[in-house]
Amino acid sequence: MATVEMPGSKVGQWVRDDQQAGTFKVNREAFTSPEVLALEKERIFDRSWLYLGHGSELKNPNDFLTRYVGGRELIFNRSRKGEYQAFLNVCPHRGAQVVREPTGNAISFKCFYHGWAFNNNGKFATKSRPGTYPDDFDCNGAVDLARVPRLESYRDFFFISYDADIGPLAEYLAGAAEILDLVADHSPNGMEIVGGTQEYSIKANWKLLVENSNDGFHASETHETYFGYLMDELGGPDAVDLKSLDQINRARDLGNGHAVVETKAPWGRPIARPLQTWGEQAKTDAESMIAELNERVGPERALLISDRDRNMGVFPNLVMNDIMAITVRTFYPDAPDRMTVRSWALAPVGEEPEARHRRLNNFLEFLGPGGFATPDDVEALESAQRGYGAVKFAPWNDISRGMHRDPPRGDDEAQMRAFWREWNRRMEAE
Amino acid sequence: MTAQDLTLARSAVQPRSRADYEDFLYREAALLDQWRLDEWYELFTPDSVYEIPTVGGGLEAQPNNSLFYIADDYRRLHHRVTRLKKPTAHAEFPHSTTVHNVNNVRIEGADEDGVRVVCCFTTYRSKHHNTDTYIGHIYYTLAEVDGEIRIRSKRIVLGMNSLQPHGKISIIL
């Protein structure tokens, strides 16, 4: 049988990628070891583009927000001129956090500890009595707020990197950029983050959530109760189109460790795939949305936007799920067996109130810590993490599913292999 | 006349004694601790809502324009109950052990929808040798239906910064 994935087999300390045999194994130590986590911070998190936030979160000049990204507290803000900026939220004086509110609007920041102050472009602006500091004290930037080494955006999605020498974001995103385009093209008016952040932690290694977020295989088992609910809502099993889910179902390696699965799922989509139960207005709204999409992006892309469901992982820790609603999710490890997660809902700017309500309803049915599905994912991840306690005697995870299938399906595990190959490449310092 | 007096004057539901509401809330808590979810669901009126905004949302946030953790109407609440009774609701199989504490009960006012009752809560959930604590305030609108107290709305305003380390709200708070 033809080998359809990347050529060549690789046997590393943690990843055994055997193309010939069609097997792919990951050592569970990769999920439990503090040494692995330390190496991940150095070789992955400090050398990638990491999701920071969406442009819509800072609507006006001087708006700011604080956010924990890649293990550091940051200030994401806009200058008086409206430019987007990212700083380490650390006072250059003695290290206290300069901004302590989650969001706001400010032309300057002042540290509460000793009162060092900064313009909102990070420039040192502390008034001291003459003679307190040398005249050239603030001339070389050493007492300015430190900027995050790199900040770039793609279609209003802002990313930072702690690696000053990293290549451009668009290059790094590779094929993921096309999927972000599909998300950004939902609306002619742009997209925005809806107010409210879901913030939670999971007692599991962060890579378990990477795997879970675009794992098409687990859905029917883990989320039996969600699909049961959906069937009831739709009017019984006969009313549910599971055939399309089976027929339209593929996984794509997007390069650089990014991957997406694309299906046509039975749930409704707030963008132009209404359920019967949403009523006549939703149907009419959908028709006009499709007409608008056809006009603006052409029928081929309109179909991809309105009638396909995508779960994408952007290496290492961004998930963009464009499913029954759009969720933007990012996470970071606090320890080998613990991560913090932040999720947002993304929606078209200027969406009709009724449509916005349907979208958020749809979001909550499946997604998030109170939804009908995510709690069971959390349970599964924590259960696996407990299982890894037996790593010494049961060392290997298997993610071989569909390794010889061409093209791979969304309920295969090719998308995870894409992640792990990039992870392995970096961790083995190839 | 205060605003509260004014709302009381308008065909408002006449509040009962605080002890009556306390008894009701204690009974609700007991049903939840005993996982008698069908009986718990019967405490709600058909036009009821059960809501948990994300942190910072408080009383102002509305589920039609901001992201919540939970925003159930009566119908979806029924699905929530149905789901939690299934062994395939994996996060709650086997069921966790919970202790729902209710205190600082206050009657805040009344209007035609019912009596506004606010309380503090502390709910412990124990599973896998781990106990998570949920704290905050609950804002109820309690109606009178055939001489019984019924819940027209229950909004839980979490007192935690985030769901750490809980990771989920898989039980009913």
The pLDDT of residue A139: 86
Write out pLDDT tens, residues A37-72: 999 999 999 999 999 999 999 999 999 999 999 999
The tokens describing A313, both together, are: 């992982």
CB contact under 8 A, B165 and A353: no
Residue type (1 letter), A211:
E
In the predicted structure, residue A241 carries a pLDDT above the cut 90: no
The mean per-residue pLDDT over the stretch A415-420 comes to 96
| A241 contact B CB<8A | no
- Nearest of A226, A127, A43, A64 to residue B83 by alpha carbon: A226
| A199 contact B CB<8A | yes
Give the confidence band of A430 by pLDDT, cuts at 50, 70, 90: low
Write out pLDDT tens, residues A69-97: 999 999 999 999 999 999 999 999 999 99
> Looking up tokens 């062994």, which residue turns up?
B87
The pLDDT of residue A134: 93
Whole-angstrom Cα distance, residue A402 to residue A389? Answer: 28
| A225 contact B CB<8A | yes
Please list the residues that pair with B143 across neighbouring strands. B150
Write out pLDDT tens, residues A305-362: 999 999 999 999 999 999 999 999 999 999 999 999 999 999 999 999 999 999 999 9
Residue A413 contacts by C-beta under 8 Å, 6 or more apart in sequence?
A: A24, A215, A217, A399, A400, A401, A402, A403
The tokens describing A366, both together, are: 């499946």
Write out pLDDT tens, residues A122-177: 999 999 999 999 989 988 899 999 999 999 999 999 999 999 999 999 999 999 99
Residue ranges in chain B modelled with pLDDT below 50 = 1, 7-8
**What is the overall mean pLDDT for chain A?**
94
In a mutational test of the B interface, the residue from A209, A212, A277, A376 whose CB has the highest number of chain B CBs within 10 Å is A376
Q: Closest CB to B167: pick one of A200, A228, A365.
A: A200
The pLDDT of residue B109: 95
**DSSP string across A360-414:** HHHHHHHSSTTSSSHHHHHHHHHHHHHHGGGTTTS-EEE--TTTT-SSPPTTSSH
Looking at beta carbons, which residues of chain A come within 8 Å of B83?
A: 225, 228-229, 372
Rg of the Cα trace of chain A?
A: 23
Please list the residues that pair with B16 across neighbouring strands. none
Burial A290-308 (b: 16+ CB within 10 A, else e): beebeeebeeeebbbbbeb
Sign, CA dihedral B81-B87-B93-B96, equals positive
Give the confidence band of A27 by pLDDT, cuts at 50, 70, 90: very high
Interface of A with B in 297-356 (CB under 8 A): 338, 340, 344-345, 353, 356
CA-angle at A254, arms to A304 and A212, nearest 5° = 85
The tokens describing A60, both together, are: 């006006």
For helices A280-307 and A353-366, the axis angle rounded to 10 degrees is 60
Looking at beta carbons, which residues of chain B come within 8 Å of A364?
A: 63, 68-71
In the predicted structure, residue A6 carries a pLDDT above the cut 60: no
Q: What residue ranges in A89-217 does DSSP mark as E strands? A: 103-105, 108-110, 117-119, 150-154, 157-161, 191-193, 198-202
Contacts 24+ apart (CB under 8 A), A171-174: A172/A48, A172/A49, A172/A256, A173/A49, A173/A256, A173/A258, A173/A314, A174/A254, A174/A255, A174/A256, A174/A258
Residue B106 contacts by C-beta under 8 Å, 6 or more apart in sequence?
A: B18, B117, B118, B119
Instruction: Give the closest-approach CA distance of A375 to chain B in angstroms.
Output: 5
Looking at beta carbons, which residues of chain A come within 8 Å of B89?
A: 225, 376
Q: Identify whether the C-beta of residue A87 lies closer than 8 Å to the C-beta of residue A79.
A: no
Please list the residues that pair with A365 across neighbouring strands. none
In the predicted structure, residue A236 carries a pLDDT above the cut 90: no
The tokens describing A427, both together, are: 């961790």
The tokens describing A1, both together, are: 């049988």
Residue B114 falls in which region: left (phi positive, over 0), alpha (psi -120 to 50) or beta: left
Instruction: Give the closest-approach CA distance of B33 to chain A in angstroms.
Output: 18
In the predicted structure, residue A277 carries a pLDDT above the cut 90: no
Q: How far is CA B58 from CA A329, A412, B53, B139, in A?
A: 23, 42, 7, 10
The pLDDT of residue B10: 54
Please list the residues that pair with A340 across neighbouring strands. A201, A332
| A196 contact B CB<8A | yes
Whole-angstrom Cα distance, residue A281 to residue A355? Answer: 9
Give the confidence band of A3 by pLDDT, cuts at 50, 70, 90: very low
Write out pLDDT tens, residues B11-30: 788 999 999 999 999 999 99
> Looking up tokens 């299906």, which residue turns up?
A263
The order of strands in the sheet holding A157-161 is: A50-54, A157-161, A150-154
- Nearest of A218, A308, A220 to residue A263 by alpha carbon: A308
Q: What is the pTM of this model?
A: 0.94
Provide ipTM, 2 decimals. Answer: 0.91
